Amino acid sequence: MIRVKGLCKEFATFDNGSGGVLALSDIDFEVRDNEFVTVIGPSGCGKTTLLRIIAGLIPYHQGEVSIDSRPVVGPGPERAVVFQSFALLPWADVLGNVTFGLDVRGEAKSESQARAKELIKLVGLEGFEKRLPKELSGGMQQRVGLARALAVNPRILLMDEPFGALDEQTRRLLQEQLLQLWERERKTVIFITHSMEEAVMLGDRVMLMTPRPGRVKEMIDVPLKRPRPRDVEKSPAFVEIKEYLWENLRAMQTAQP
């Protein structure tokens, strides 16, 4: 279980000595094991900062962030991150990128390659093992990013707007495939997004955040049955939650000129 309590994060500013910018203020929430939580909020609400703190990539000074009651002090083998920019090694082929996490941990080459090939197949990139990232489309690149994260067999998947840089068709396709993967092998997922459809489509719960400073406004349950077919978008429950999110996000946008 991921537990965040009373978390505040302040970024130092260099132009004056009088304190910094409060990015996150008094964040409280819990994510249960194998739960899929999507996080949505306008720019500047600190959602990426929150994810990076949970990933152990940046420090926090106040409050509590723990995974199964152990405080987060850095990255750990039970967590893996999928990045918005894909963050693939441009000099390594698909296979080399997917084995990265395993190589770092010093796994035997034959084992890590076998594991990587399995995942490359799972994300539908069989036959592309020897390609370089620049030879792949954005959607394919993010599949590599996903396979790389899954290769280390994490219990927790932290996804930072993973489909944000993709076009609409590719994005929908990847959403469906991510859901299929997740149905087969449930993991705890925190998924940052800008898209209201995506938030409702994927999440068991949607965390709505407000900006300046970043706060959790509300945790919204998504009472849609799983597995979710695509046409769930047309169901009244889906539309209702989406409308509710839009009302809130719209109010936040208009409150800030």
Partner 1 sequence: MKPMMVSEAAIRTAAPKRVGLSRRLQRLVQHHALEVFALVFGAAIWEVLGWGLALQWLPPFSQVIKALVQFLASGVILANLQSSLSSLIIGFVLSLVFGLLVGAFMGRYRTVEKALDVYVHALFVCPSILFAPIFFAIFGLSDAARIAIIVVYSTFVIVMNTATAIRTVDPSLVEMAYSFGCRERQIFTRILLPASLPLVFAGIRLGVGRAVKGMINGEMLIAFVGLGALAEKYGAQFDAPKVFAIAMVVLIIGLVSDAIVQTLENHLTRWAD
Helix-helix angle 138-151:168-184, to 10 degrees: 20
Distance, in Å, from the CA atom of 109 to the CA atom of 101, rounded to the nearest integer, reads: 12
Q: Least distance (Å) from partner 1 to the CB of residue 51? A: 11
Kindly tell me which of 22 and 132 has the beta carbon lying closer to partner 1. Answer: 132
Q: Are 245 and 199 in contact (CB under 8 A)?
A: yes
Measured from the CB of residue 79, what is the shortest distance to partner 1 in angstroms?
A: 8
* 81: phi then psi, degrees, rounded to nearest 5: -115, 140
The burial of 114, by beta-carbon neighbours within 10 Å (0-12 exposed, 13-18 middle, 19 or more buried), is given as exposed
DSSP class of residue 214 equals B
56 vs 213, beta carbon nearer partner 1: 56
Count Cβ atoms within 10 A of the Cβ of residue 101 and give its class: 0-12 exposed, 13-18 middle, 19 or more buried. Answer: buried
Is 75 or 127 the residue whose CB approaches partner 1 more closely? 75
CB of 55 to partner 1, least distance (A): 6
Which residue, 105 or 109, has its beta carbon nearer to partner 1? 105
CB of residue 131 vs partner 1: minimum separation in angstroms? Answer: 11
Q: Closest distance between partner 1 and the C-beta of residue 119, in Å?
A: 15
3-class state of residue 141 by DSSP: helix
Binding site for partner 1 (CB under 8 A): 55-57, 75-77, 79-81, 83, 85, 87, 89-91, 100-101, 103-105, 132, 134, 152
CB of 28 to partner 1, least distance (A): 24
Which parts of the chain fold into alpha helices (H)?
47-55, 94-98, 100-104, 109-122, 138-151, 168-184, 196-202, 236-255
Of the candidates 91, 100, 82, which has an alpha carbon nearest to the alpha carbon of residue 160? 82
Q: Which is nearer to partner 1, 101 or 203 (CB)?
A: 101
Closer Cβ to partner 1, 72 or 199, answer by number? 72
- Greatest C-alpha distance within the chain: 56
